[in-house]
Amino acid sequence: MHDVVVIGAGAAGIAAALELTRMGIRPLILDVGYRGQKHEGRIEENFYEHRRKHDTFDVMIGSRHQGLANLFSEKIVPVKLTSPDMEFVTRNADRLAPITATEFAPIQSFASGGLANAWGAGLYRFTDRDLAAFPVSEADLRPYCDHLTREIGISGEDDDLTPYFGSTDDLLPPIRLSHNIGRMYGRYLDKRQKFKGRIALGHPRAGVLTQPHDGRPALGYDNLEFWQDTAAIYKPQLTLDKLIDRDLVDYRSGILVSAWTETDDGVRIDGLQVEDQREISFAGKQVIMAAGAINTSKIVLTSLQDHQTELKLLENPALQIPMVLPSSIGRKLDLGSFGLVQLNLVWESETFDTLIQGSLMEVTSPRRAEFFSSFPFAARQSLAMIRQLLPAMVVMQLFWPGSHQKPARLRLDDGNGLCLSGQPNTLDMGKIGEVLAAMRRLGAYTHPALIVRVPTGHAIHYAGTLPMRDKPGRYECDRNGRLAGTDRIHIADSATFPELPAKNMSFSMMANAMRIARDMVTGR
Ligand SMILES: Cc1cc2nc3c(=O)[nH]c(=O)nc-3n(C[C@H](O)[C@H](O)[C@H](O)COP(=O)(O)OP(=O)(O)OC[C@H]3O[C@@H](n4cnc5c(N)ncnc54)[C@H](O)[C@@H]3O)c2cc1C
């Protein structure tokens, strides 16, 4: 019998396993565990340089036309997931875990390393303000955040966002800003007193290396973020591979866990071998569940054979705001920029009575075709327009707290699939005037017709189905993640979050998973 069985090898499961190995425990990790092909290093120069010399069909469209997925499927997915190199991230998800969804577009991963293989690596500490509804504090998470900061290599800076982002210890230098975003930031630094303390800008906390770290290279500013894996951007898979190489974990891929049963002296875990569909069982003294909030909840409901209960699922409502800097129209495209988040914005919004966080990005990495449908002209004119406007465009994604929208409801259907019913994104665009005015002061303009309400589910921050409480009730966990009514089942992913702050949540989820693993073992 294994001391600890971890179910799932995404960000949460790998963080929990890492902490167990630090305590001398060799966990069994059960995972479906698809892997991508190793394409890192296939392109060794700036993407635009490469494109001038080579055909890029393979890289951008792919042999199975993965890059065109959003054109031919009713199920639209976030752009990065249409990149051929990212195909493995969502491989077979609909088959392995069917979901009948209304007003919610779930994205699931059965990859080794999970959804984080495609993430933007915006990695933020929850502060006490973010944790107000949690039975844990910033101080409880701090040792784990500190350890992860050193493990991952996080860039950032002590700036106006430090009160919102917490400790700056051990940060690497911030990501270099592109021309447009650098201009906006320069103006902000000149005019920040005009924002009356309600809007602040600063550097992101990003798992993006700005100098070599732990044998990994620094970022090349090569615009390949969408098209080719780079070790400069951290993925939890890197940590898992290290643990496997050092034989510190027993990692079993190809296993789809369906349910657990507590026995007198442990837990039996039942599942299927994905390849031949044969049943298989494992035994452990303790179980840590980290299959992602949706699949963890499914396994819990299946284990308890409960087809009635509806669990509440939180997600961050979000808006995507394309903006143009008129001063950059007609300029050459900035080819040496970083294509993911370069700056963050925090808005103490009076109109929404809450804290809202934004991410500012360049648009040099995605395909130009992504913007094609936004222009109401014939193809040739649209192309000309894109050529003129793209070098002058930036995009801001704004996140609201999960509590700002009624939660979705998740239930086991009669065939052991899931039913998920959500809410349309109804964020009131009439109330974002203050932030748009701030952007204009920084030289960036938008038009209401360009602003997109991100479909519910596409923020890809799923949480809250089995929340931690001081006094947990049914389908809730105690502060150590132990599921009420069980002795040996601990939940380590974001299913345990009682609230979803307006902040990318994975880093704090990883820190919390480490805390849960340690407290489970030490019996704190
Ligand atoms: C394009 C994109 C950008 C993102 N950007 C950011 C960002 O910048 N910052 C941020 O904080 N977050 C970001 N996210 C979200 C982030 O990736 C997820 O929140 C995080 O990866 C979730 O990790 P997880 O461990 O909870 O679950 P998952 O990543 O869903 O992993 C689940 C794991 O469990 C396994 N599993 C599932 N079910 C079973 C089963 N039944 N049996 C066995 N194994 C199972 C899977 O194989 C997988 O290994 C982004 C996501 C995407 C897709």
pLDDT bucket at 41, cuts 50 / 70 / 90: low
| 346 Rama class: left (phi>0) / alpha (psi -120 to 50) / beta | beta
Please tell me the predicted confidence (pLDDT) of residue 111.
Answer: 98
Q: From the alpha carbon of 258, which atom of ligand 1 is closest?
A: 41
Q: From the alpha carbon of 14, which atom of ligand 1 is closest?
A: 25
Say how far apart CA 118 and CA 243 lie, in whole Å. 21
Mean pLDDT of 271-292: 97
Tell me the CA–centroid distance for residue 45 and ligand 1, in Å: 30
Residue 385 to residues 35, 321, 368, 396: CA-CA distances in angstroms? 39, 18, 11, 20
Report which residue type is found at 248: L
Least confident piece of the model among 18-22, 86-90, 175-179, 222-226: 222-226
What strand order describes the sheet that includes 199-202?
199-202, 341-349, 354-362, 393-399, 318-324, 452-453
Report pLDDT digits (tens) over 73-98.
777 777 778 888 888 999 999 999 99
Report pLDDT digits (tens) over 168-189.
999 999 999 999 999 999 999 9
pLDDT bucket at 324, cuts 50 / 70 / 90: very high
Verify whether ligand 1 is closer than 6 Å to residue 237 (CB atom): no
Verify whether ligand 1 is closer than 6 Å to residue 255 (CB atom): yes
The phi and psi torsions of 366 (rounded to 5 degrees) equal -70, 165
Is the pLDDT higher at 334 or at 127?
127
pLDDT bucket at 416, cuts 50 / 70 / 90: confident
Tell me what the pLDDT averaged over the chain comes to. 93
Tell me the CA–centroid distance for residue 35 and ligand 1, in Å: 14
Percent of the chain with pLDDT over 70: 96
At residue 255, does pLDDT exceed 70? yes
Please tell me the predicted confidence (pLDDT) of residue 370.
Answer: 66
How would you class 313 by CB atoms within 10 Å of its CB: exposed for 0-12, middle for 13-18, buried for 19 or more? buried
Q: Would you tell me how many other CB atoms lie within 10 Å of the CB of residue 23? A: 11
Tell me the CA–centroid distance for residue 152 and ligand 1, in Å: 17
CA–chain centroid gap for 50, Å, is 29
Please tell me the predicted confidence (pLDDT) of residue 413.
Answer: 94
Please tell me the predicted confidence (pLDDT) of residue 336.
Answer: 87
3-state SS, residue 375:
coil
Q: From the alpha carbon of 121, which atom of ligand 1 is closest?
A: 8
Residue 407 CB partners (closer than 8 Å, separation 6+): 312, 313, 314, 315, 464
Verify whether ligand 1 is closer than 6 Å to residue 315 (CB atom): no
At residue 13, does pLDDT exceed 70? yes
Say how far apart CA 316 and CA 397 lie, in whole Å. 11
Mean pLDDT of 391-419: 94
Percent of the chain with pLDDT over 90: 78
Q: Would you tell me how many other CB atoms lie within 10 Å of the CB of residue 254? A: 16
State the pTM of this model: 0.95
Verify whether ligand 1 is closer than 6 Å to residue 115 (CB atom): yes
Tell me the CA–centroid distance for residue 455 and ligand 1, in Å: 18
Q: From the alpha carbon of 271, which atom of ligand 1 is closest?
A: 42
3-state SS, residue 318:
strand
How would you class 281 by CB atoms within 10 Å of its CB: exposed for 0-12, middle for 13-18, buried for 19 or more? exposed
Tokens of 86: 């990212």
Please tell me the predicted confidence (pLDDT) of residue 71.
Answer: 67
Tell me the CA–centroid distance for residue 272 and ligand 1, in Å: 21
- Pick from 342, 522, 352: which is nearest to 428 by CA? 352
Report pLDDT digits (tens) over 326-380.
999 988 888 888 989 999 999 999 999 999 999 999 987 666 666 666 666 677 7
Say how far apart CA 369 and CA 380 lie, in whole Å. 12
Report pLDDT digits (tens) over 457-500.
999 999 999 999 999 999 999 999 999 999 999 999 999 999 99
Tell me the CA–centroid distance for residue 409 and ligand 1, in Å: 19
Say how far apart CA 491 and CA 288 lie, in whole Å. 6
Q: Are strands 199-202 and 341-349 parallel, antiparallel or unpaired?
A: antiparallel
Please tell me the predicted confidence (pLDDT) of residue 259.
Answer: 98
The phi and psi torsions of 63 (rounded to 5 degrees) equal -65, -25
- Give yes or no for a contact between 182 and 325, defined as CB atoms under 8 angstroms apart: no
Q: From the alpha carbon of 89, which atom of ligand 1 is closest?
A: 53
CA–chain centroid gap for 412, Å, is 25
